[in-house]
Amino acid sequence: MSTHPAVYRIEIGPDHADQRIDNFLATHLKGVPKDHVYRLLRRGEVRVNQGRIKPHYRLQIGDQVRIPPVRQGEEEPSGRPNLRLLSILEKQILFEDSGFLVLNKPAGLAVHGGSGLRFGVIEILRALRPEVSGLELVHRLDRDTSGLLMLAKRRSILRELHALLRAGEVEKHYLALVRGTWSGGTVNAPLLKNHLQSGERIVRVDLTGKEASTQFTRLASSKNVSTLPATLVDVQPITGRTHQIRVHAVYAGHPIAGDEKYGDPDFNRFTRDTFGLQRLFLHAHRLKLSKKGLSWEAPPEEALQSVIKKMTGEKL
């Protein structure tokens, strides 16, 4: 185990431009538990250009990163994901080339460790691909959301894919089961991210928030259910804000089934008792990179397919 003897500073070059500060620190501070990395950021001990930053801050060429004395070499609990986790995720890889990969993330698996979680998708894939030094998430999915997720294997590819995301050239579609009979439509409502005293992150519609837009399209409605009708919708987020789909669904009056944070407890109980739903019904089922001529589809897991069949009488 070692300790940095004093504060030191790093100037960001092209190799780390556009990388999130939390990912930069996780790679740079080998052996430091991720919870500790996030504590350093929350306390303002890590600074960029002499200012405090959030974990999602993206580094720019020329940024001066201040890193305080940190103990290193301390192994995280169970320092490597177990064989079961490695095998599960290996089987979910749908596409891989020299630049990036696409996988079908299972529900219940976070995209990265931290906040009490030992491993997420990124840690498991780094264990699966130890020869790939630049493996990074291109975008994120909530822990309880399943479906298509992209990871870049090189910094240059990460920057290219981020540019496509910003330009609206990456088309993402989700399946969601929502409360009520709904024909769908476009929801435009700014979103503001807050952190509660407990550290929990919550997002609300707020005029001072960031612009956000989501397109909902009806696919099917529940049959022979008069008490609490439900609608299966295709969801295309036009922007990419945290918890955007879930918050916009609630704002439209149609919360997503199984959403314990933003949803309707009565609807959650109804879908659990009537359809056997045990999780958030939100699945990223289609991903398209138009400029690269690439697209992928991932049907929802059997548990969600079973809900659809019980609800409509047929599977997708």
Q: Which residues are catalytic?
A: 142
What length does the chain have? 316
* Gap between the Cα atoms of 103 and 88, Å rounded: 11
* Gap between the Cα atoms of 29 and 251, Å rounded: 41
* Gap between the Cα atoms of 247 and 32, Å rounded: 34
3-class secondary-structure state, position 307: helix
Name which of 11, 7, 13, 32 is nearest 22 in CA terms: 32
User: Hey, how many other C-beta atoms are within 10 angstroms of the C-beta on 108?
Assistant: 11
Sequence-ordered strand ranges (E) for the chain: 2-3, 8-11, 47-48, 51-52, 64-67, 71-72, 93-96, 100-105, 136-137, 146-152, 170-179, 184-188, 191-195, 201-205, 213-221, 230-237, 282-289, 294-297
